[in-house]
Amino acid sequence: MTTNTQDIEAIVRQVLSSMNGSVASTAPSASAVKSSDTYDIPATAHCAFLTELKHFEIKEVPMPEVGDDDILVKVEGCGVCGTDAHEFKVDPFKYIPVNLGHEGTGTVVKVGKNVKVDSAGKPIGVGDKIVTCMIFHDDPDITMYDLNKQNVGGADVYGLIPGYEQKLSGWFSDYILIRKGSTYFNVSDMDLDSRILIEPCAVLIHAVERAKTTGILRFNSRVVVQGCGPIGLICVAVLRTMGITNIVTVDGNDQRLEFSHEMGATGHVNFMNHKGIEALTDAVKDALGGKLADFAFQCTGSPAGHSNVYKFIRNGGGLCELGFFINGGDATINPHFDICSKEITTVGSWVYTLRDYGTTFEFLKAAKRDGIPMGKLITHKFALKDINEALETNLAQKGLKIAVMCE
């Protein structure tokens, strides 16, 4: 019998650890784990199905067969998105029953014989860390090199596929089966918290790319970000890594506004402290050094927020609206005063394209290099069995990003 060098190193670490009377402080590297090319895969898996409003059930299901083009992943963790919270509360998409969770990541434990590389051409195999993007099936319009024809709105997403038959199709599970036609990326060079944040960060990378198409957003732009939930805070971080240094946040929560400065904001305004849109606009203007914003990002799902944001923008400025991931109702604006006479250039942003994921990986590395504490966005972590509590915590707006973790 032969033993390779990586296995010997793992054994030595274990022996040294036992001699010290403690468990080793670091886990074996991914490459050491990969060397055996096998994992102890159980006969059954567990997935959290939303079976009725505000109620998940943990269902035990047979472990599926892994086809030639499939990947079986042991889930490490998954963020709770606002979309998950809306589905949990009111089922706006009529998906119940559904295995939710689309901000997930985990370890590859088995691959089909045809799986060699990820969607960017990077080798992938057992032991690698992975995230999923979209499921395109056989759509000829989508390739890695021409991805602006269609965003995620035209594709399926793991965690948003309804029906009991869709077992292990969401990241709120202890295993997930990535099927043929999916897009996925090897992200073994990133820590767990960063991997959990990839999907929401891609939303903001896409929004900023959309904003750049206006030709208005530049290094010296004065920018307003309205809404300091996870989306708005990530928006601030993306702008800061781009070199934009005059960013004012608007929200009604002092704690979130203060935290926005850790993400890169240079000023903030609590709208609760100002009565009427004129007073609020004056406060935003003061925070920007006496001038209105060149550009604004509207990151709330509030119709009143959308109505107000135009007032913060100078003549000839720009707006990116990305807050309405569900139907939040109609917003009232005056087209003459808010758009025409000011010649505001407006773009909408809806999730992301596949290419935005590659940019997102670079953003997260840049944020880490620049000292932006992205990991602080994850304020609560719950076990899969406590997923109902995790969603209730999200709905109560306690903390920022909530995550569901698997052992």
Q: How many CB atoms lie within 10 A of CB 396?
A: 8
Q: What is the pLDDT of residue 343?
A: 98
Percentage of the chain exceeding pLDDT 70: 86
Q: What is the pLDDT of residue 251?
A: 98
Angle between helix axes 354-369 and 198-212 (nearest 10 degrees) is: 100
Q: What is the pLDDT of residue 8?
A: 37
Sheet harboring 55-62: ordered strands across? 55-62, 44-52, 98-99
Q: Which long-range contacts (CB under 8 A, 24 or more apart) does 245-251 make?
A: 246/220, 246/221, 246/222, 246/288, 246/289, 247/223, 248/222, 248/223, 248/224, 248/284, 248/287, 248/288, 248/293, 249/224, 249/225, 250/224, 250/225, 250/226, 250/280, 250/284, 250/312, 251/226, 251/227
| Judgement on whether residues 296 and 220 belong to the same structural domain of the protein | yes
Instruction: List pLDDT tens digits, range 75-95.
Output: 999 999 999 999 999 999 999
| Judgement on whether residues 221 and 168 belong to the same structural domain of the protein | no
DSSP conformation class of 146: B
Q: What is the CATH number of the domain that holds 393?
A: 3.90.180.10
Angle between helix axes 387-395 and 82-90 (nearest 10 degrees) is: 100
| Judgement on whether residues 135 and 217 belong to the same structural domain of the protein | no
Average pLDDT of the chain is: 89
324 to 86, 87, 298, 305: CA distances (angstroms): 12, 14, 9, 11
Q: Does 3 reside within a domain?
A: no
| Judgement on whether residues 124 and 149 belong to the same structural domain of the protein | yes
| Judgement on whether residues 166 and 279 belong to the same structural domain of the protein | no
Q: Does 7 reside within a domain?
A: no
| Judgement on whether residues 135 and 99 belong to the same structural domain of the protein | yes
User: Per DSSP, which regions of 119-210 are E strands?
Assistant: 129-135, 175-178, 182-186
Q: Does 130 reside within a domain?
A: yes
| Judgement on whether residues 296 and 336 belong to the same structural domain of the protein | yes
Q: What is the mean pLDDT of residues 375-385?
A: 98
230 to 102, 117, 403: CA distances (angstroms): 15, 32, 12
The answer to whether residue 189 scores a pLDDT higher than 90 is yes
Q: Does 171 reside within a domain?
A: yes
Q: What is the pLDDT of residue 14?
A: 45
Q: Does 121 reside within a domain?
A: yes
Residues paired with 52 in a beta bridge: 55
* Residue 343, domain extent: 201-348
What backbone torsions phi and psi does residue 273 show, to the nearest 5 degrees? -90, 5
Cα angle value 42/174/59 (rounded, 5°): 85
Residues paired with 378 in a beta bridge: 401
Q: What is the pLDDT of residue 6?
A: 44
Per-residue tokens: 222:
């004065």
Which residue, 229, 225, 244, 207, is CA-closest to 356? Answer: 207
Q: What is the mean pLDDT of residues 333-354?
A: 94
Q: Does 365 reside within a domain?
A: no
pTM of the model: 0.88
Q: What is the pLDDT of residue 137?
A: 66
Residue carrying the six token digits 């035209």: 154
| Judgement on whether residues 89 and 57 belong to the same structural domain of the protein | yes
Percentage of the chain exceeding pLDDT 90: 80
- The model's confidence at residue 35, banded by pLDDT at 50, 70 and 90, is very low
Q: What is the CATH number of the domain that holds 318?
A: 3.40.50.720
CA distance 104 to 79: 6
CA distance 271 to 254: 10
| Judgement on whether residues 185 and 210 belong to the same structural domain of the protein | no
| Judgement on whether residues 265 and 165 belong to the same structural domain of the protein | no
Q: Does 19 reside within a domain?
A: no
Q: What is the pLDDT of residue 143?
A: 55
Following DSSP, what letter does each residue of 166-191 receive, concatenated?
A: -TT-SSSBSEEEEPTTEEEEE-TTS-
The answer to whether residue 43 scores a pLDDT higher than 80 is yes
| Judgement on whether residues 269 and 186 belong to the same structural domain of the protein | no
| Judgement on whether residues 167 and 297 belong to the same structural domain of the protein | no
Q: Does 222 reside within a domain?
A: yes
Give the chain's domain count.
2
Q: What is the pLDDT of residue 175?
A: 98
The answer to whether residue 34 scores a pLDDT higher than 50 is no
Q: H-helix or E-strand containing 49? A: strand 44-52
Q: What is the pLDDT of residue 138?
A: 62
